[in-house]
Each structure stands twice: as C-alpha cells, then as structure tokens.
Amino acid sequence: MLRASELSMARVLSLFRPQPLLALVGRRKPTLCKMSMDSRARKVFAAAVEAVQPDTVVRQSIERKDDSVIINGQKFPLKHNLHLVGFGKAVLGMAVEAERIMGDHLVRGVISVPHGIQQTLKQHGKGHLLLKENSRIRVMEGAKHNLPDTDAQRAAEQIKQLASELTEKDVLLVLISGGGSALLPAPIPPILLQEKLDVTRKLAAAGATIQELNTVRRALSFLKGGGLAHYAHPAQVVALILSDVIGDPLDLIASGPTVRSEVWPEEVLSVLERFKLLNSIPASVKDVLGRPNSQRMDNKEKTDKAENVLNAVIGSNSIALKCAGRRARELGFRPVVLSPGVCGDVKSVSRLYGLLARFACSREEPPPEIAAEVLRLGPEVGVASWDLCRTMQVLDEGRTEGWGATCLLAGGEPTVELTGKGRGGRNQELALRVGLELKGLQLPPNGPVFLSGGTDGQDGPTDAAGAITDGGLYEEAQAQGLDINNFLTNNDSYTFFSHLSAGQHLLVPGLTCTNVMDVHMLLIPAIPINVE
C-alpha cells in the first residue's frame, strides 16, 4: 500500500502535463539515424571520456595572454617564475599541456605518477601525453598497485622541497587528479610510511567514512589538508583539479593538499577511539598527535593565506555528462541529465533505472506507483527528489508529446556488496542488474538500451570499462545456458559478459588516461502515441 504522501509526491508530475492541444502543436519529428542503439551508446560514452582528457581540460582552463595567464577569471603575470608540481593518475598528460602553454616561463617541476605509466602510454600509442626529452619537469613513478610506497614518498619529499624554496615572486601550479593521495605520502617523523598505512587500513576495515579517514590522514601528513599550500607560502598557488569524487569536494580530492584545514589532535583521537584503535596505534603516531599543531611545524614562521591559493576544478563528472549530452543530441536523442552524484548499492541503483525505463516507455499513463517508488529510492541512491521529479516530467513530456528518442544521462560511483570471488566491477554488475530490470520490455530499436562505464577504462580488475544491455538479456543468457543469479552471487559479471554472445556486450575502450567516476546512460526510443 502506498501512503498518501507518496501518492501526492507522484502526482506532482501531473501538474506539468501539457494539454492535448499543446501536445499536437509541440510534436516534433524524430531525428533519423541509421546507426544502432548500441553503437550510439558507445559513441556517447566516448564523447564523455574525450571531454575530460587530461590535456583537454588543462587547455580549456588556461588562457595565455602575452606574458600572463588567466585562470578562473584571475590574471597571473609570468616572469620566468612558474614552478609546477603534480600528483595523480592523469597528471602526466596535464603536465604536458601545461608546459606547452607556459613555455620558458616554467622554471622547473616535479610530478608523482603511477608506476609504469610512461611505458604503458608508449605501448598504447599515447605519445602526446608524454613529456619531451628536454622537459623541465621531472617525472617520478611510484604507488605500485595504487598503494603508497617508498618511491611515492621520495616524490612527495621532492615536491615539498620545491614548494619550500619559493618566494612571493613565484607562482606554483599544482596539478591534481584521482589517485593523488597515494602518490603524495609524507608522514610526519617519526611515523613510518607503513605505520601510517596500517592505521588507515584498520580504520577503513572498521567502516570509517572517507571524512574520518581524511581527518586521520591529514593529522599524520606534512602535505595533506593544505600542507602543500602552507609550504609554498608566500608564493601564489594555483591548483588545477580533475575530480574523481562525488560533488567535487576540494578537501577530499587527493586529501586536499591545497585546501587549508585545521588539525585538532582531539578530533583524531576521537575517531581512533570510536573504532577502538586507540590502544593499538604505534607509539610514533601517539607522539605526533601529542604535539601542539604538529602538521604545521617547520623552521619557517609561515602563516596560511587563503587569498594566495586558487583551487579550480577543471574536469569532473558533470563536464563529462554535459559533453555526452551534446553528442547524444547530434545522434538524434534529446539529452536529459539526472545527476552526477548517483551512489548507493547497485541493487537500488539498478531498480531506479529499471523503473525510469518503464515509466518512459509506457504507451499508456504510467501507474502512480512507479513514480512513488522512484521518489522513495532517491535518498538511497543520492539523487534529490527535485531531480527525480524534473527528470520524470521531461520523460513524461517526451512520451506524451512524441519528442522522439531520449538519452537519460547520470554519473557517480555506486557500490557493490562483495559476496563472491568472481571478476568484474560495479559498472558491469550494474549493467547486468539493469538488464534483469528491463526484462519484458521491447528489444532495441523499439526498446531501451542501458550502458554503464567507468571513465578510467577499467571496471574492477578487468580490461572492460563496463557493459551495455537491454530487455533481451535474460532470454539471451537462458538460450546460452548462463545462470545470471549464480554470476551475481559470485560477483562474476565480467565472466558472464565475456561468455554472453562472445563478449559483444562488453564496453572496452582501452586506456582512457582519465577518471571522473562512472557514466550511466539509458537510451529510450521514440514511443508511438495515440492522440484521441
């Protein structure tokens, strides 16, 4: 039974319904496109990834005018006074473009990038994302398997040293992308790197939130939580950030090295006590937390000046979705962006997309129960009721007015509850579950198609970024002797899609060189309407 409040929320949609006359006047001819729904979905995903390429986002964020640059509307004079540091999986490509734009005004630079990335880029024909031999930027590789290690620590020490030597006449350009936290480990002595890693691992295993983890990380690190900006003072600091976190919170991306945050030992001890770790932390950690203002201690009497720091998010999931929508329109779809912050368990997220598909594809008036359940799911999947109402309004108008095909876009980072030991990731599992939700709907081109893909090109420990599915998934699997429930129980979505129709449903874009979380796409065909 639906509560009265839920039904009234669902009926909000009816307030926006056009009158029949408006439906007739507003009807537009669907754009014709001979390309299959599957092919168009892949092209829209490719456009999303292309929009957040590391060199592209830097090029679009820096405007060079003679001997100055304009970033985020602020002008910075260049007098052979520019220094560069960076850390993250996409930073190498960002640095290449930054050096090209800045020219000989760049004095020197140090970047910390993943182990083996230069060789990988060469092997994949991505030479345009590699620095030239005469580059003034030193590349240091580390963080093997995405874990802080001694190589990454050496790079962090070099970055700290460079920042510490700057004067008020200098500009420090900081390049940050996903993976930056592991590539910038700088534990405060006498804490050893392994000791810091053990503390954060225990917290994560105990269920600590990302905010709690960062509270502890910042207290034990020289550079996190605004530490890098502190050491660079009094130089002007400009950070260009490629975000891989929902909502683009500056203090969480790479643990916020250019975002000032106060460190209170009492707060850190409270977190450790909450998870019953206070008695098991190393003596070195207790020593550091017992010091006054431990993170900011150094032999220079510096003060943090927020006005000397500019943080600019230049690449994000929202930007990827915007460009994906542009490509979708070129391919004959009306783009609708639901949200760039979808999260929560894939079971809830898949249910949401299944309901939205049924709502949009209904040839009759959809029952109010569908809209009510969509709104109920909102808090579980991180999508506001307003965004759900707005999206359903647009889908309803498209259905009743005959606008033609629609491309519903969303992004974020859902989670998967691990119950097995199979291969796959959240995108492939989401696609598999949505395929089950679409069971019974028409097949393409008369029925919907769903795609879920990670913009980093790798979904879990596989070579696939995700998968594409439709309402025929269940019967296709049955015909090929594949038991979907067994694969889901074992979290083995990659093996499932590899066997299903010889892997044709897999999304394998190869090395993407970027990461702004995931892109979800629901392609809805034009629904024939009956005008009475």
Residues 323 and 309 reside in one and the same domain: no
Residues 400 and 271 reside in one and the same domain: no
- Determine contact, residues 238/171, Cβ cutoff 8 Å: yes
| Position 45 confidence tier, pLDDT thresholds 50, 70, 90 | very high
Over the stretch 98-122, which tens digit does the pLDDT of each residue have? 999 999 999 999 999 999 999 999 9
Amino acid 517 reads M
The answer to whether position 30 is within a domain reads: no
Q: Rank 11-15, 74-78, 523-527 by mean pLDDT and report only the highest.
A: 74-78
The answer to whether position 181 is within a domain reads: yes
The answer to whether position 7 is within a domain reads: no
pTM: 0.90
Residue-by-residue DSSP string for 471-493: TTHHHHHHHTT--HHHHHHTT-H
Q: What does the alpha-carbon distance between residue 24 and residue 13 come to, in Å, rounded to a whole number?
A: 20
Residues 6+ apart with CB under 8 A from 287: 190
Domain extent, residue 500, equals 317-524
The answer to whether position 119 is within a domain reads: yes
The domain boundary, picked from 315, 349, 365, lies at 315
Q: What does the alpha-carbon distance between residue 182 and residue 447 come to, in Å, rounded to a whole number?
A: 44
Over the stretch 377-424, which tens digit does the pLDDT of each residue have? 999 999 999 999 999 999 998 887 777 899 999 999 999 988 999 999
Q: pLDDT at residue 371 above 80?
A: yes
Q: Can you give the pLDDT at residue 257?
A: 96
| Position 530 confidence tier, pLDDT thresholds 50, 70, 90 | low
Q: Number of structural domains, the chain?
A: 2
Instruction: Tell me the two tokens of residue 465.
Output: 């970024």
Residues 6+ apart with CB under 8 A from 14: none
* Ranges assigned E (strand) in 377-444: 406-412
Q: pLDDT at residue 27 above 50?
A: no
Q: Can you give the pLDDT at residue 288?
A: 92
Residues 154 and 221 reside in one and the same domain: yes
Q: Read off the CATH number of the domain in which 476 is found.
A: 3.40.1480.10
Q: Read off the CATH number of the domain in which 241 is found.
A: 3.40.50.10180
Q: Can you give the pLDDT at residue 293?
A: 58
Element at 43 (helix H, strand E): helix 37-51
Over the stretch 85-102, which tens digit does the pLDDT of each residue have? 999 999 999 999 999 999
Q: Can you give the pLDDT at residue 213?
A: 87
Q: Which of 286-295, 417-426, 490-499 has the lowest mean pLDDT?
A: 286-295
Residues 277 and 323 reside in one and the same domain: no
Over the stretch 440-450, which tens digit does the pLDDT of each residue have? 999 999 999 99
Distance (Å) of CA 411 to CA 37, 256, 383, 429, 481: 20, 22, 11, 15, 32
Over the stretch 240-260, which tens digit does the pLDDT of each residue have? 999 999 999 999 899 999 998
Residues 273 and 388 reside in one and the same domain: no
Q: pLDDT at residue 32 above 60?
A: no
Q: Can you give the pLDDT at residue 306?
A: 57
| Mean pLDDT, all residues of the chain | 90
Residues 6+ apart with CB under 8 A from 198: 282
